[in-house]
Amino acid sequence: MLGLLAINCDVPILANEAQQSTPLLTTQDLIAIAETQRAYRPKDAFDFAPNVSVISNRFVVELPVKMAGAAAFETQCDGFPFWSYTATSSDAGSLMVHYTGGGTVVGSRYFTTVPVMCTERVGSSYVVQNAFGVKTRIERRYQVSTMLVSVRPVLAPPLDALLFATVDVSPADARTLTPNLFLRVEGELLKWPDSSFVKCGVEKTAVDMRTIWDVTTELCSFRTYVQRVSLVDRRSAKILAEKSFAERPED
């Protein structure tokens, strides 16, 4: 079941002492592991990618929270947290933080994705035409992405609504708070069915007259159990909102 949302906790609380003594993989650790696997090129059809070893199966990822509609989010890299603000007077207002992640249903399972890193570059464009002579210009985009993936039964409580928080804060305080917001995602690495921690491959979007992008993504995915998502003020390390997920994903 989903845990309760806790507002204005002063310090993070880990589950137990054993977890506190376990080394934590950071955002940069996960990116480095993914890049090692991504760089692998098979010598022939019979070559097999080497298994990646990790120093710990526990991780903590920090994601910046950007303003809704900011240039950083005007790409096909989606699923990152963002904030919006509504002032109700000169000294009051509400700061809303949205973090939905992403997800897709495959058979009886729901795959929730949490982005760790995504870079994108724009390539050349080309024109497609349908049987009626209508033309559409398609823009090529190339992404390199690293994701955390949680696999759950379709009927289980969804993880895609990872965090939605509202913080009452004045416009003056919000102006200095928002550049210091980040989301901390904590959890445990699990293994894919082939016993690997990370799987890499290339995905390509289907292009038709309704799309304007032709996106090719070099994607590396870690299978995970996301346990907690926290909204944090970097200046004081104060937790402004928190959500826990008690139900372990499928094996």
Q: What angle do CA 206, 46, 36 make, to 5 degrees?
A: 65
Beta-carbon count within 10 A of 218 CB: 16
Tens digits of per-residue pLDDT, 45-87?
887 777 777 778 899 999 888 887 754 445 557 778 889 999 9
Q: What is the pLDDT of residue 37?
A: 86
* Cα(140)–Cα(145) distance, integer angstroms: 16
Q: What is the pLDDT of residue 237?
A: 95
Q: State the pLDDT confidence band at 3, using cuts at 50, 70 and 90.
A: very low
Residues of 94-128 as b/e, b for ≥16 C-beta within 10 angstroms? ebebbbbbebeeeeeebbbbbbbbbeeeeeeeeee
Q: Which of 9-13, 75-79, 80-84, 204-208 has the lowest mean pLDDT?
A: 9-13
Higher pLDDT, 181 or 41: 181
CA 129 from centroid of its chain's CA atoms: 35
* Cα(141)–Cα(160) distance, integer angstroms: 25
Whether the predicted model's global pTM rises above the 0.85 cut: no
Select from 138, 135, 150, 243 the least CA-distant residue to 192. 150
* Residues with Cβ within 8 Å of residue 148, at least 6 apart in sequence: 30, 59, 61, 113, 114, 115, 116, 185, 187, 221, 222, 224, 226
Tens digits of per-residue pLDDT, 120-161?
888 899 998 888 888 888 989 898 988 888 776 555 555 555
Q: What is the pLDDT of residue 5?
A: 32
Q: What are phi and psi of 167, to 5 degrees?
A: -120, 125
| C-alpha gyration radius of the chain | 20
Q: Indicate the DSSP class of residue 132.
A: T
Select from 192, 193, 217 the least CA-distant residue to 203. 217
Delimit the domains of the chain by residue range.
6-244
